Amino acid sequence: MPESIISLHDKQFAPYLPYEQLTDAIRILAARLNEDYAGKQPLFVAVLNGSFMFAADLMKRLSIPCEVAFIRVASYEGTGSTGKVREVLGLQEDVKGRHLVLLEDIVDTGHTIRYLLDMLSSRGAASVEVACLLIKPECLQHELNIRYASISIPNEFVVGYGLDYDGLGRNYPDVYKAL
Ligand code: IMP
């Protein structure tokens, strides 16, 4: 087996998106956010668990006054979305009148983002936008207006850079795809 292939549970994964490509995309995203949110003191809401590396690398490149909070939802079991989104760790911050940016590692069916957009808008946020590192446009099942989508990928199951396969794989700096 080539050294670069990783095995997680019953699957093997090959290198797909190197860390440098991810951080290049994040640098471009940060520049857009620095411009669009100047003077708005946005609250970035990182969707756990998958977005912890993305959120950390993005926040380090933001130079505007801003806050970060975390929310945890779950919808995936193994390599497929269950379609039902559960809030596992709620948002403590008052979002009324705030400009929010949801930070999501990957948008697949869009169930998670749809649920969060509806939930946060109903709590009186002034605006809610989505910034995602990866998006699988072929898999989207909702009409979502995602303003900040960094890297589009085909319908592949990927791990690494925060993304997991049943709990494993989050620790790798690069993104790998299932073989
Ligand atoms: P959605 O609700 O179907 O858009 O899925 C969003 C969530 O599913 C993401 O936050 C991930 O946690 C998970 N997910 C979607 N695609 C993948 C993948 O390829 N690898 C690992 N997790 C994924």
Strands 148-152 and 158-159: unpaired
**C-alpha of 7 from chain center:** 23
Domains assigned to the chain: 18-154 (3.40.50.2020)
Using alpha carbons only, what angle is made at residue 39 by residues 97 and 107, rounded to the nearest 5 degrees?
65
Q: Is 109 helix (H, G, I), strand (E, B) or coil?
A: coil
Cβ of 110 less than 6 Å from ligand 1: yes
Q: What is d(CA 21, CA 35) in angstroms, rounded to the nearest whole number?
A: 22
Nearest ligand 1 atom to the CA of 157 is 19
CB 48 within 8 A of CB 72: yes
Cβ of 157 less than 6 Å from ligand 1: yes
pLDDT at residue number 32: 98
77-115 pLDDT, tens digit each = 666 666 677 666 678 888 999 999 999 999 999 999 998
Supply the residues annotated as catalytic.
108
**pTM of the full structure:** 0.94
Closest CA to 158 of 140, 139, 173, 178: 178
pLDDT at residue number 79: 65
